[in-house]
Structure 1
Amino acid sequence: MSRTARWRLGLGASAFLLATAVVPAPAHAAGPAAVADYAITVDPTARGAALDKTMYGVFFEDINRAADGGLYAELVQNRSFEYSTDDNRSYTPLTAWTVDGTAQVTDDSGRLNDRNRHYLSLGAASSVTNAGYNTGIAVEEGKKYDFSVWARADAGTALTVTLHDFGGTLATARRIAVRKSGWAQYKAAFTATRTSTTGRLTVTSSAAAALDMVSLFPRDTYKHEPNGLRKDLAEKVAALHPGFVRFPGGCLVNTGSMQDYSEDSGWQRKRSYQWKDTVGPVEQRATNANFWGYNQSYGLGYYEYFRFAEDIGAMPLPVVPALVTGCGQNQAVADEALLQRHIQDTLDLVEFANGPVTSRWGKLRAEMGHPRPFHLTHIEVGNEENLPKEFFARFTRFRAALQAKYPYLTVISNSGPDDSGTTFDTAWQLNRDARVDMVDEHYYNSPQWFLQNNDRYDSYDRGGPKVFLGEYASQGNTFTNGLAEAAYMTGLERNADVVKLASYAPLFANEDYVQWRPDMVWFNNHASWGSANYEVQKLFMTNVGDRVVPSTATTTPSVSGPITGAVGLSTWATSAAYDDVQVTAADGTTLLSDDFSSGAARWTHTGTGSWSVQDGAYVQTDTAAENTMVSAGDPAWHDYDLHVKATKKAGKEGFLVAFGVKDTGNYYWWNLGGWNNTQSAVEQAVDGGKSTLIAKPGSIETGRAYDIDIKVRGRQVTLFLDGTEWGRFTDDKPAEPFRQVVTRDAATGELILKVVNAQATAARTAVDLGGARVAGTAKATVLAAAPDAENTETATPVAPVTSTVTGIADRFTHTFPAHSITFLRIAPRRS
């Protein structure tokens, strides 16, 4: 996942009413009870694409506290006193701890081990208390919890360990005698006497003692695995029946230093995620700075990922760094020895997963509790690199080494962080020329984009590399988003001969530690709930089928006029000055002329930032503010030319010049020098969710005045930079709200008719099964809700409803509700 992509995300589309905002209802429909007529024709004798059992999976990245404080069941935060300002500027080694008495975090030769560098020196008759995550440590009455600590003392010392909250004790206290023989691990068990979500763990020492790795785990982890996973979160993933698990990232993979541990400099806290750092005894694993702004303990490491994939019957799909950083960093590491070391590390990873117990890394796997191999068949090298040539030069080295030693491996490449643009095109050409097995695509776009691009893979080369859609989402957790994603997924299935793997992203979000939204599963310290998107993914994952049955459907009439809207100016983490704004109609009439000599009264400030007129220009001075939009003009304007002179004064990026501005969530803008001043693009916002329409590499110079011209004619837009045409596009693709696909379940013989009706009009549909002999009833599973419905901890308005539908025949009529996703499982006639 790309941090730069996050900068462009809208936070939802709750007001996105598809039938009115995107595709009008047919002319004969009137009112909310209106019905539109459609037809679906199925050819049961034709053979469509085969659907692999692994087609749909999940992508896990440690973002939004998805690991520590999330899927990893450890209840103690900062258990090894390793938090640092390198992780987060607010952190100290005692973050999440409070001390009563005397205590000091120490880093010296007395440490537990070389990777676990800090420990707590606790004074006599002193105590230390941990606050856990969210509101505290959550415990449930009658459940067991396992405590452990590494400790040493110079004299006889007793530790008293208590679980409590503001209302009193939560379990009977435990007393532990610490021996005078150096570091050792001590354990105790608690049974909660009542339920609490605000618990605290306190360790009190009778005499001076050193403590490290203070831990509390629920006994009831998923599958009762030691060092295990939080049961409710793991069960939600298991309920999807995913075909694969992609891990550990995302931006964790290709960010940070790629260097080795150094005896001179010690552990590098901003080191990239490398698998060897995450295996072996937990107390010997280092902690590290997390790219998303917190600490990661590596308690949930590669062994645990492999084990989890096996437990839920999914294919493991690890991602390793290719020595080209991404996610806004965009640097290629030029160190041959380091490259060779990372290639060898990747070969060693395959040995760890699949090697015999007599091999070095297979032996470690066995020592950790799993002598059997994990059957690794796919591995991905790199993630969203924005330097496609530099990345590919390194990728080919990895691929050659991996396939020479393990020829059965599918080695996956990628196409950068966007669905189109120069990086995407260059990466795909390199992948095609080298006959790469599979290419990972990532994109986060508006619901409208997903409705418009159901046919994206129809034109892909059937003989070229296969597609792994490793990260996608429609920028929101409302049912509108789920509808758009479901409509798009019918196109993924129709093209299953090209799209071999697909996973929504991200998977988890702790509601109190959010760096990215939307997310599939939300949680706090005691509860979890699936989003509308989760319910969509679950419906598709548990009803895949084995082969597509070719079918066609009528479409929805659409009406489109010219691009209309006012104009706007904005910045993103940048100070810029704008001047000489001219808007001229196609007939030459001046619509707006402003040199700011008389102030900026014509402009409305709808964003953040600080705007003022300075030296005859309109200047935004806040270099931290994001989307500082000011707008002027009439939302009904169309067919016009916009001219503006822009100068960057300071900051990270360039200019944002908007047109077609209807309101704060609906507009186009030309983003010049975006993505950390590395790219320029035209983006379209629909109810806050953005999609990229055209993109190219490019940067903006500080202090230089640029002439920016935008010509809008009908649905076509042409853009000029300093008098030279930069690009053009036509935004005329309809957003189709009625989509369908049919698959067959080989085991049952059932036809699975999957219909998405993403409009406010019911769809009365004539279904022709092409002579298929079918039973008279079908099992229906329906997701239907208001477009802005959103699942929460306390309410689940988006949930599947199952029923039996009668009147099924070779030809039948069925009405699919407005704003609905319907799966009909139609059994063959038994005669």
Structure 2
Amino acid sequence: MSRITIRTENKKFPVAPNLYGIFFEDINRAGDGGLYPEMLRNRSFEDSIEPKDCHTEQDGYALVTRAGWRDEFNHGEGLSRWIRKNQTPYTPVPAWYTQQAVMRLEREDTLNKHRQAALSAVFEKGGKLYNTGFNGISLKAGETYSFYMFAKTEHPVSVRVCAEDDSHVFGSMDFQLEGTGYVRYDGSFAADRDGDNARLSICCPEGGEISLGFCSLMPQDTYMGHGLRKDLVEKLKALNPRFLRFPGGCIVEGFSPETAMRFRNVIGPVWERPGHQLMWHYRSYNGLGFHEYLQLCEDLDMEPLYVCNCGMTCQGRAPVLFEGEELEDMLQDTLDAIEYAVGGKDTVWGSLRAQMSHPEPFRMNYIEIGNENFGPDYEMRYRKFFDTIRARYPNIRLIANTHLENQGIPADIVDEHFYSTAEFFAENIHYYDGYDRKGPGIFLGELAVVRGWVGQLYGALGEAAFLIGMERNQDVVELASYAPLLENVNYNAWFPNLIRFNNRESMAIPTYYVWKMFGNSRGENVVEAEEETGILYRPVKGMASLMGPSGLRYKNASWNGRPVGISHELMGRIEEKDGVFRILPPDQEQREEAEKLYGVDPERVFAVFGEEEVTSGAFDIEIYAEEGKEISLGIYSSRMPKEVYVADETHPPKEWNSANVKPFVWRLENGISSFREQAYPEDKYLDEERLVQLQYGQFNRFRYEADGKSMKLYVNGECIHEAAVPSFPAMACAVSDSSTEVIVKIVNFSPEEDEVEISLDCAVETDYKAVVLTGEKQAENSFEEPERVHDEERLLSGAAEQFIYRAPGYSVNVLRIGKKK
């Protein structure tokens, strides 16, 4: 049984009004073919064209930047696994195919200066040119679809444009093409029945030659008529989000100067917006642009939070720095974006907004300068942007990527990102308790469980526990959003994502319902609440490992008294002579592998003993000690659970590598013994540092004992460290109230029902409401069972100043208890 004692009389601080929001980045084809429901893939015919400052290798397989970053390209089709999964036939112009016709890209005679290509086709009689959409085109009976194309022809040509599959025509339009230059042709059709794998065909019954400059097929029925996919926006609305962070994410930075995000490229008529290659393996046509984001914010009553490029490309992908005029232009681009949003219609950019049918200004109260940028290069650029924006728009709150206040650089808010395991989030429930209340506010801009219980209920519980800790600290944490938001399941580049969709339907992962429950239950003030509960230990496994400088000598390694050898040479090779083993320096193959990994020192060795699937036991080893030379042992040396994201898809890392094995580290050097965990954002010490006496010039006996809950570390028979395996509360809560109700948020990590004894200092109504998310630990949603795990509202009775609430095992709970008048 757990206990919660609530003191509503002790109001700690008001709730942060904009705490829960959403973050959109165009990843997993979340934009085109998703939130922006364009149905034609490669509508601008440019997907196979590499960016100007890049080249392709291996016959179009890999895209390589001038700075050396690589990505899968596949002639513009993106990831190889997409091609395999979707069974995409090869075509020189992605998504476009011909039958009794010949097509080619026209690079000179294009629609306008922003278009890099047009598509020319020569038809035989009865020939056709067709587009397969985003892994097919989905049509709904009775719904109307709008089509337009810019086409030119030297001689009049009759064409029929139809949506069809191999056995049926769902709707068609007839056009007579003629005139001088590119001419826009518009049409529409109503689908006569449902279809899931249609294509859009341009048929030429009598033959002829045409050039297409741009084309589009969109459903007429969009959210509020503003051009976005209804079911996806409705799911966003249900979260009750208070802000939208856009347009990224890493796509803001780009992976090269040309692919960096610029406001000027994402406004105006969509056929005049230059598309650009995204680091998430495909090209964006930028139909979902700055105006569309602002309109979505207005439609859902969200604060826009615009992320601007601060003059540098992605620092995780061979960065390029903008200098001189390039940097000044990027700053001006940001100022132009702000003017577009909030400037009067008599300003340059405000007048363009007015031309887009929005004469009145939008809101713009938050600007984030850069995305995940850091270091001196960022600090200089940030300060330049901060000073300029603050001088012109003093009311806009400016967000930094790192804690620049530690360098004396001003920031209103700092953005922090966390991607880890469910246990990490649960263990860090007190993360913000010690933050400086006089420093900048915190934006928890990106968080997700990406290893282990990914997209499953238990992962959602871990994230919910971290949000509980955040809610307790709303005097410092002002904003929070999950990442990523949307995923087209046919073009997955990252997992998990809050909402998953295909061409016809959408569903949400369990985490979505946590954010929905918390975002719709806010209260007015955070009130004092004390909890009493048990603890749960982090699951651990794996044997020992050796790390440190090369040349380390050891012998007589054993596990539970039985000899054990090295099973994985992650860095360094093992040499044996007369029963003594030496770890040699990493070889060339290992050094090349290390170059693919983040935070790996190519000079240090790393070797793992024995089997991975062990939790309890004793490890013994004799290690030769040399004065001034480090000795490091790893305890619980196993692989972290895999994540979907791979930094370089053309050279994925090995299953076992020195970046994904993170044991607890027992380090001895210069007479000091330390025991710590390799953790983010900094290592955590599991025990105090201790003095230790080694016998230099000879082998010393090292031993550790572990049982899954505690660890004891010995040198030459003396216990040096004793530490617990990291743990977290079995139950956690946060409480807010208003003049009319008390809102109690509870996370129960235990598999068993917890009879939570709740004590209040105010009279409450007997009847109350509970919104509950529960299920099996590994439960997840699918298109076959889209609501296997979802929020369920329960009407309960029995609330009093002291009562029992039975929190189901593995559950997130929101109790709304009315105060008596």
Q: TM-score range by the shorter chain?
A: 0.7 to 0.9
Question: In 2, distance between residues paired with 1:64 and 1:580?
Answer: 46
Aligned to 1:480: 458
Aligned to 1:556: 534
Aligned to 1:314: 302
Question: In 2, distance between residues paired with 1:81 and 1:610?
Answer: 49
Q: How far does residue 78 in structure 1 lie from its aligned partner after superposition?
A: 0.3
Q: How far does residue 638 in structure 1 lie from its aligned partner after superposition?
A: 4.7
> Structure 2 matches for 1:490-529, cutoff 5 A?
490-529=468-507
User: 1:463 is aligned with what amino acid?
Assistant: K
Deviations 1:481-540 (A, max 9, x none): 111111111111110010000001100111121111111111111111010011111111
Q: Is the 8 A contact 1:79 1:213 kept in 2?
A: yes
Higher relative contact order (CA 8 A, sep 6+): 1
Q: Is the 8 A contact 1:388 1:427 kept in 2?
A: no
Q: How far does residue 57 in structure 1 lie from its aligned partner after superposition?
A: 0.5
Gaps of 5+ in 2: 51-62, 64-72, 77-90, 577-581, 601-605, 626-631, 643-650, 665-677, 685-699, 714-720
Aligned to 1:31: none
Question: In 2, distance between residues paired with 1:115 and 1:681?
Answer: 43
Q: How far does residue 745 in structure 1 lie from its aligned partner after superposition?
A: 3.7
- Give the 3-state SS of the residue equivalent to 2:38 in structure 1: coil
User: 2:379 is aligned with what amino acid?
Assistant: F
> Structure 2 matches for 1:459-470, cutoff 5 A?
459-470=434-445
- Give the 3-state SS of the residue equivalent to 2:30 in structure 1: coil
Q: Is 1:347 aligned with 2:335?
A: yes
Gaps of 5+ in 1: 1-36, 259-269, 416-425, 571-575, 595-601, 646-656, 668-673, 697-708, 719-727
> Structure 2 matches for 1:85-104, cutoff 5 A?
86=50, 88-91=73-76, 94-104=93-103
User: 2:141 is aligned with what amino acid?
Assistant: E
- Give the 3-state SS of the residue equivalent to 1:366 in structure 2: helix
Aligned to 1:167: 167
Q: How far does residue 773 in structure 1 lie from its aligned partner after superposition?
A: 1.7
Aligned to 1:145: 145
Question: In 2, distance between residues paired with 1:406 and 1:451?
Answer: 39
Question: In 2, distance between residues paired with 1:788 and 1:593?
Answer: 34
Question: In 1, distance between residues paired with 2:427 and 2:683?
Answer: 18
Q: Relative to 1, partners in 2 of residues 1:515 and 1:568: Cα closer, same or farther, differing over 3 Å? A: farther
Q: Relative to 1, partners in 2 of residues 1:612 and 1:516: Cα closer, same or farther, differing over 3 Å? A: farther
Q: Is 1:59 aligned with 2:44?
A: no
Q: How far does residue 694 in structure 1 lie from its aligned partner after superposition?
A: 4.0
Question: In 1, distance between residues paired with 2:75 and 2:801?
Answer: 66
- Give the 3-state SS of the residue equivalent to 2:803 in structure 1: strand
Q: How far does residue 325 in structure 1 lie from its aligned partner after superposition?
A: 3.0
Q: Is 1:39 aligned with 2:3?
A: yes
Aligned residues: 704
Aligned CA-pair RMSD: 3.8
Equivalent of residue 823 in structure 1, options 790, 797, 814: 814
- Give the 3-state SS of the residue equivalent to 1:114 in structure 2: coil
Q: Is the 8 A contact 2:256 2:319 kept in 1?
A: no
Question: In 2, distance between residues paired with 1:332 and 1:485?
Answer: 34
Q: Is the 8 A contact 1:70 1:230 kept in 2?
A: yes
Q: Relative to 1, partners in 2 of residues 1:292 and 1:729: Cα closer, same or farther, differing over 3 Å? A: farther
- Give the 3-state SS of the residue equivalent to 2:530 in structure 1: strand
Question: In 2, distance between residues paired with 1:473 and 1:280?
Answer: 35
Aligned to 1:14: none
Q: Please, what TM-score do these two structures have when normalized by structure 2? A: 0.79
Q: Relative to 1, partners in 2 of residues 1:114 and 1:558: Cα closer, same or farther, differing over 3 Å? A: closer
User: 1:410 is aligned with what amino acid?
Assistant: R
Q: Relative to 1, partners in 2 of residues 1:452 and 1:146: Cα closer, same or farther, differing over 3 Å? A: same
Q: Relative to 1, partners in 2 of residues 1:459 and 1:525: Cα closer, same or farther, differing over 3 Å? A: same
Question: In 2, distance between residues paired with 1:612 and 1:162?
Answer: 66
Question: In 2, distance between residues paired with 1:472 and 1:54?
Answer: 17
Q: Is the 8 A contact 1:320 1:381 kept in 2?
A: yes
Question: In 1, distance between residues paired with 2:623 and 2:174?
Answer: 76
Equivalent of residue 544 in structure 2, options 536, 560, 567: 567
Q: Is the 8 A contact 2:543 2:637 kept in 1?
A: yes
Aligned to 1:209: 210
Q: How far does residue 250 in structure 1 lie from its aligned partner after superposition?
A: 0.9
> Structure 2 matches for 1:398-409, cutoff 5 A?
398-409=385-396
Q: Is 1:69 aligned with 2:33?
A: yes
Is 322-331 or 816-825 further displaced after alignment? Answer: 322-331
> Structure 2 matches for 1:640-789, cutoff 5 A?
659-661=634-636, 664-665=639-640, 684=662, 692=680, 694=682, 732-745=725-738, 749-770=740-761, 772-789=762-779
- Give the 3-state SS of the residue equivalent to 1:483 in structure 2: helix
Equivalent of residue 325 in structure 2, options 334, 337, 341: 337
> Structure 2 matches for 1:209-358, cutoff 5 A?
209-225=210-226, 228-258=227-257, 270-329=258-317, 331=319, 333=321, 335-358=323-346
- Give the 3-state SS of the residue equivalent to 1:756 in structure 2: strand
> Structure 2 matches for 1:451-462, cutoff 5 A?
451-462=426-437
Q: Relative to 1, partners in 2 of residues 1:624 and 1:115: Cα closer, same or farther, differing over 3 Å? A: farther
User: 1:546 is aligned with what amino acid?
Assistant: E
- Give the 3-state SS of the residue equivalent to 1:103 in structure 2: strand
Aligned to 1:50: 14
User: 1:81 is aligned with what amino acid?
Assistant: F
Q: How far does residue 102 in structure 1 lie from its aligned partner after superposition?
A: 3.4
Give percent identity, aligned residues only. 30
- Give the 3-state SS of the residue equivalent to 1:815 in structure 2: strand
Q: How far does residue 582 in structure 1 lie from its aligned partner after superposition?
A: 3.5
Question: In 1, distance between residues paired with 2:782 and 2:415?
Answer: 31
Aligned to 1:814: 805
Q: Please, what TM-score do these two structures have when normalized by structure 1? A: 0.78
Q: Is the 8 A contact 1:49 1:494 kept in 2?
A: no
User: 1:539 is aligned with what amino acid?
Assistant: M
Q: Is the 8 A contact 1:378 1:409 kept in 2?
A: yes
Q: Is the 8 A contact 1:137 1:197 kept in 2?
A: yes
